[in-house]
Amino acid sequence: MELVCPAGNLPALKKAVDEGADAVYFGFQNATNARQFIGLNFTDKRANEGIEYAQSRGCKVFCAINTYPQPNGWREWTAAVDQAASLGVDALILADMGLLDYAAQTHPDLSRHLSVQGSATSHAALRFYQQQFGIKRAVLPRVLSISQVEDLARQSPVELEVFAFGSLCIMAEGRCYLSSYLTDESPNTRGACSPAKAVRWLETDQGLEARLNGVLIDRFQAGEKAGYPTLCKGRFAVGDETYHALEEPVSLSTLDLLPKLKALGISAVKIEGRQRSPAYVAQVTRVWRQAVDAAGAAEPDSVRMQAWAAQLSQLSEGSLTTLGAYHRKWK
């Protein structure tokens, strides 16, 4: 089972490699990838250096080009595919059917992974992508329960990669347009959800307000921890109640499920967080390296498990983790 870690920049990439990632994934400095953050991602030169660093140490490199090009951006996206191919990455992570087709025709020997943004939630959908575009692997959306993942693992025609740790998307990825409804950017169009350029913090008599393009996402009282206003994690009013109507600000952690995922034959576990610091990537990779290695053991080591869970918890949003949709009770 591969451990796939985020590389938002070169220092993070090196940390992930040093701490034992089997693969790292990165994107270019434009809207072609789903983590377009200011100051993040790779130039050609940096990518070259990172790929050299990783591959010479036995670590694979995947390139995420997983947003949806429109006609006026088509050439920028195909250029990113060509660039990744010429840099010698081990696989492309793609979502758009047109771009998958372009990659399959233009670079047939370069592995194609279906991004989580491709929204494949059934073995039939996986078969469609495999037959039409020859995908080798698919990253599953975070909306599936463990029993659904189990069904898929049994019938999937391709390798499966699942999210193990990091931010939790509660909507089926690739088909969530909430961000572009409130701002002019979405993960699909610009690789951004609740973009920082649209965020305003305001101290008011009613508390600290977090607004996204003017829309009040949450209001924090003194002593409350104020998290980034990702729009689906704010407090809203439904009926007479004001609460986290969509989701609490928590992170996903599937540490407890790891032995099960391994037994199901899941090919890779993925750590989310290209936007996080190199220090974060180092810590998370270190813990998960140990956990993945230990997952095959006959006797689970509950003491070590607890220690890992505690370390991960400290690194999580609001210091809270959840099994998310993997666990039925979440729903």
Partner 1 sequence: MQLSLGPLLYYWPAEQVDAFYQQAAEWPVEVVHLGETVCSRRRELKLDDWERIGKHLVASGKQVVLSTQALIESEADLKQLRRLLDLAAEQGWQVEANDQSALYYLTEAELPFTTGPSLNIYNLRTLSNLSALGLQRWCLPVELSRETLADLQQGIAEQQLDLETEVFAYGHLPLAWSSRCFTARYHDLPKDRCGFVCQQYAAGLPMRTQESRDVFVLNGIQTLSGACCNLLDQLPLMRRHGVQVVRLSPQAEGMAAVVSQFDRMRSGELPLGQEIPLHAQQDCNGYWFGRPGMDRVNPLMD
> How does 292-327 read in b/e, with b if 16+ C-beta sit within 10 Å?
bebbeeeeeeeeebeebeeebeebbbeeebbbbbbe
Is 59 assigned a ligand-binding role in the annotation? Answer: no
Q: Is 128 in the site for partner 1 (CB under 8 A)?
A: yes
Mask for 139-168, x = binds partner 1 (CB under 8 A): ----xxx--x--x-----------------
- Tokens 């407890």, residue? 256
- Positive or negative: CA dihedral 304, 8, 40, 174: negative
Closest distance of CB 62 from partner 1, Å: 21
From 29, 111, 186, 194, residue interacting with partner 1 (rule: CB under 8 A):
186
Among 6, 27, 50, 69, binds partner 1 (CB under 8 A): 69
Q: Is 63 annotated as a binding residue?
A: no
Per DSSP bridges, beta strands 241-243 and 236-238 are antiparallel
Our CB check for partner 1 shows the closer of 89 and 193 to be 193
The answer to whether residue 72 forms part of the interface with partner 1 (CB under 8 A) is: yes
Do residues 6 and 12 lie in contact, with contact meaning Cβ atoms separated by under 8 Å? yes
Query: Judged by CB under 8 A, does residue 74 bind partner 1?
Result: yes
- Under the binding rule (CB under 8 A), the answer on residue 81 touching partner 1 is no
Taking CA 285 as the corner, what is the angle to CA 283 and CA 291, rounded to the nearest 5 degrees? Answer: 110
5 is annotated as contributing to ligand binding:
no
- The 83-122 contact track toward partner 1, x by CB under 8 A, reads ------------xxxxx-xx---------------xxxxx
Q: Is 70 in the site for partner 1 (CB under 8 A)?
A: yes
Cβ(60)–Cβ(91) below 8 Å: yes
Reading the block at residue 193, the tokens are 């959800």
